[in-house]
Chains A and B, each alone.
Chain A
Amino acid sequence: MKKEKKSVKTAENTLPSAVKKTERELPFYVVKRGDAEQTFGRAALIRASAIVIALLLCGIATIFVTGDNPISIYATMFKGAFGDAHNLWKTLQDLAILLCVSLAVTPAFKMRFWNTGAEGQVLISALATAMCMFYFGGAVPTPVLMLIMVAGSVLAGVIWAVIPAIFKAFWGTNETLFTLMMNYVAIQLVEVFLKVADKSGSNTVGPSLLKHGWFPELFGQKYLLNILIVAVLTVLVYIYLKYSKHGYEISVVGESENTARYIGVNVKKVIIRTMVVSGALCGVAGLLLVAGTSHSIDSNLVGGRGFTAIMVSWLAKFNPLMMVLTTLLLVFLNRGSAEVTTKFGLNTAYSEILTGVILFFIIGCEFFIQYKIVANRSHKLFKKKGGSENV
Chain B
Amino acid sequence: MFDLISQFIQRAILQGTPLLFGSTGEIITEKSGNLNLGIPGIMYMGGISGVIGGFFYQQSVRIVNPVLAILIPLVCALAGSLLASLIYCFLTITLKANQNVTGLALTTFGVGFGNFFGGSLIKLVDSDVPSIALTKIAKVYKTTLPFAQWLEDSDSLPLQILEWFCKTFLSYGFMVYLAVVVALIAAVLLKKTRMGLHLRAVGENPATADAAGINVTKYKYFATCIGGMIAGLGGLYYVMDYTNGVWSNNGFGDRGWLAIALVIFATWKPNFAILGSYLFGALYILFNYIEGASMEIIPVLKMLPYLVTILVLIFVSMRKKRENQPPASLGLSYFREER
- Real binding pair: yes
B100 contacts which of A31, A176, A183, A187 (Cβ < 8 Å)? A176
Please indicate the chain B residues that have their CB under 8 angstroms from the CB of A178 in the complex: 310, 313-314
Is the beta-carbon distance between A172 and B317 smaller than 8 angstroms? yes
Bound-state CA distance A8–B93 (Å) is 12
Is the beta-carbon distance between A352 and B115 smaller than 8 angstroms? yes
B225 CB to closest chain A CB (Å) equals: 14
Is the CB of B228 closer than 8 A to any CB of chain A? no
Please indicate the chain B residues that have their CB under 8 angstroms from the CB of A188 in the complex: 299-300, 302-303, 306
**A131-139, A227-235, A248-256, A306-314 - interface stretch:** A306-314
A371 contacts which of B96, B105, B307, B313 (Cβ < 8 Å)? B96
Q: Restricting to B218-243, which residues have a CB under 8 Å from any CB of A?
A: none
Please indicate the chain A residues that have their CB under 8 angstroms from the CB of B313 in the complex: 173-174, 177-178, 181
Please indicate the chain A residues that have their CB under 8 angstroms from the CB of B170 in the complex: none
Q: A189-B303, A195-B296, A346-B123 given as contacts; is B100 within 8 A of A184 (CB)?
A: no
**A82-90, A262-270, A359-367, A375-383 - interface stretch:** A359-367
Bound-state CA distance A349–B250 (Å) is 10
Bound-state CA distance A163–B229 (Å) is 35
Is the CB of B337 closer than 8 A to any CB of chain A? yes
Is the beta-carbon distance between B112 and A364 smaller than 8 angstroms? no
Please indicate the chain A residues that have their CB under 8 angstroms from the CB of B310 in the complex: 178, 181-182, 185
A163 CB to closest chain B CB (Å) equals: 9
Is the beta-carbon distance between B119 and A347 smaller than 8 angstroms? yes
Is the beta-carbon distance between A116 and B299 smaller than 8 angstroms? no
Is the beta-carbon distance between A176 and B35 smaller than 8 angstroms? yes
- Further contacts, 5 of them, CB under 8 A, given A114-B100, A311-B104: A32-B338, A116-B100, A174-B317, A367-B94, A367-B95
Is the beta-carbon distance between A5 and B90 smaller than 8 angstroms? yes
A313 CB to closest chain B CB (Å) equals: 9
Q: Taking beta carbons and an 8 Å cutoff, which residues of A are in contact with B?
A: 1, 4-5, 8, 30-32, 65, 114, 116, 167, 171-174, 176-178, 180-185, 187-189, 191-192, 195-196, 201, 304, 307-308, 310-311, 314, 345-347, 349-353, 355-357, 359-360, 363-364, 366-367, 370-371
Please indicate the chain A residues that have their CB under 8 angstroms from the CB of B258 in the complex: 184
Please indicate the chain B residues that have their CB under 8 angstroms from the CB of A184 in the complex: 254, 257-258, 261, 303, 306
Please indicate the chain A residues that have their CB under 8 angstroms from the CB of B299 in the complex: 188-189, 191-192, 195
Please indicate the chain B residues that have their CB under 8 angstroms from the CB of A311 in the complex: 101, 104-105
Where chain A touches its partner, the secondary structure class is helix
B326 contacts which of A174, A346, A366 (Cβ < 8 Å)? A174
Render B249-273 as a binary contact track against A, CB cut-off 8 A, 1 for contact: 1000010011011001000000000
Q: Which 5 A-B pairs give the minimum distances between C-beta atoms?
A: A352-B112, A356-B109, A347-B119, A349-B115, A191-B299
Bound-state CA distance A311–B295 (Å) is 36
Is the beta-carbon distance between B97 and A352 smaller than 8 angstroms? no
Q: Restricting to B92-141, which residues have a CB under 8 Å from any CB of A?
A: 94-98, 100-102, 104-116, 118-120, 123-124
A-B contact pairs, 5 of them (CB 8 A): A4-B90, A167-B314, A195-B296, A364-B97, A367-B94
Is the beta-carbon distance between B123 and A345 smaller than 8 angstroms? yes
Which residue in chain A gives the minimum CB-CB distance to B112? Answer: A352
B118 contacts which of A116, A347, A371 (Cβ < 8 Å)? A347
Please indicate the chain B residues that have their CB under 8 angstroms from the CB of A363 in the complex: 91, 95, 97-98, 101-102, 105
Is the CB of B318 closer than 8 A to any CB of chain A? yes
Q: A114-B331, A191-B298 given as contacts; is B124 within 8 A of A65 (CB)?
A: yes
Is the CB of B56 closer than 8 A to any CB of chain A? no
Is the beta-carbon distance between B317 and A173 smaller than 8 angstroms? yes
Please indicate the chain B residues that have their CB under 8 angstroms from the CB of A347 in the complex: 115-116, 118-120, 249
Which residue in chain A gives the minimum CB-CB distance to B113? Answer: A353
Which residue in chain B gives the minimum CB-CB distance to A299? Answer: B299
A310 contacts which of B100, B257, B303 (Cβ < 8 Å)? B100
Bound-state CA distance A5–B330 (Å) is 25
Q: A171-B317, A353-B112 given as contacts; is B260 within 8 A of A32 (CB)?
A: no
Is the beta-carbon distance between B123 and A364 smaller than 8 angstroms? no
Bound-state CA distance A95–B31 (Å) is 38
Is the CB of B335 closer than 8 A to any CB of chain A? yes
A360 contacts which of B87, B257, B318 (Cβ < 8 Å)? B87
Bound-state CA distance A360–B302 (Å) is 33
B311 CB to closest chain A CB (Å) equals: 10
A376 CB to closest chain B CB (Å) equals: 14
Please indicate the chain B residues that have their CB under 8 angstroms from the CB of A356 in the complex: 105-106, 108-110, 112-113
Is the beta-carbon distance between B94 and A304 smaller than 8 angstroms? no
Which residue in chain A gives the minimum CB-CB distance to B38? Answer: A356
Bound-state CA distance A100–B254 (Å) is 25
Please indicate the chain A residues that have their CB under 8 angstroms from the CB of B112 in the complex: 349-353, 355-356
A49 CB to closest chain B CB (Å) equals: 15
A307 contacts which of B104, B294, B309 (Cβ < 8 Å)? B104
Is the beta-carbon distance between A196 and B296 smaller than 8 angstroms? yes
A352 contacts which of B108, B123, B254, B298 (Cβ < 8 Å)? B108
Please indicate the chain A residues that have their CB under 8 angstroms from the CB of B105 in the complex: 311, 355-356, 359-360, 363
Please indicate the chain A residues that have their CB under 8 angstroms from the CB of B111 in the complex: 349, 352
Please indicate the chain A residues that have their CB under 8 angstroms from the CB of B337 in the complex: 30-32
B28 CB to closest chain A CB (Å) equals: 17
Bound-state CA distance A30–B94 (Å) is 10
Is the CB of B27 closer than 8 A to any CB of chain A? no
Is the beta-carbon distance between A364 and B91 smaller than 8 angstroms? yes
Please indicate the chain A residues that have their CB under 8 angstroms from the CB of B100 in the complex: 114, 116, 176, 310
Bound-state CA distance A114–B326 (Å) is 15
Is the beta-carbon distance between A177 and B303 smaller than 8 angstroms? no
Is the beta-carbon distance between A367 and B108 smaller than 8 angstroms? no
A335 CB to closest chain B CB (Å) equals: 15
Please indicate the chain A residues that have their CB under 8 angstroms from the CB of B113 in the complex: 349, 352-353, 356
B9 CB to closest chain A CB (Å) equals: 24
Is the beta-carbon distance between A192 and B300 smaller than 8 angstroms? yes
Is the CB of B37 closer than 8 A to any CB of chain A? yes
Which residue in chain A gives the minimum CB-CB distance to B296? Answer: A195
Question: Which has the most chain A C-beta neighbours within 10 Å: B108, B111, B306, B337?
Answer: B108
Question: Which has the most chain B C-beta neighbours within 10 Å: A174, A182, A201?
Answer: A174
A180 contacts which of B95, B119, B257, B330 (Cβ < 8 Å)? B257
Bound-state CA distance A59–B257 (Å) is 31
Q: A184-B303, A363-B91 given as contacts; is B295 within 8 A of A195 (CB)?
A: yes
Please indicate the chain A residues that have their CB under 8 angstroms from the CB of B260 in the complex: 177, 180
Bound-state CA distance A311–B300 (Å) is 31
Is the beta-carbon distance between B108 and A366 smaller than 8 angstroms? no
Which residue in chain A gives the minimum CB-CB distance to B92? Answer: A363
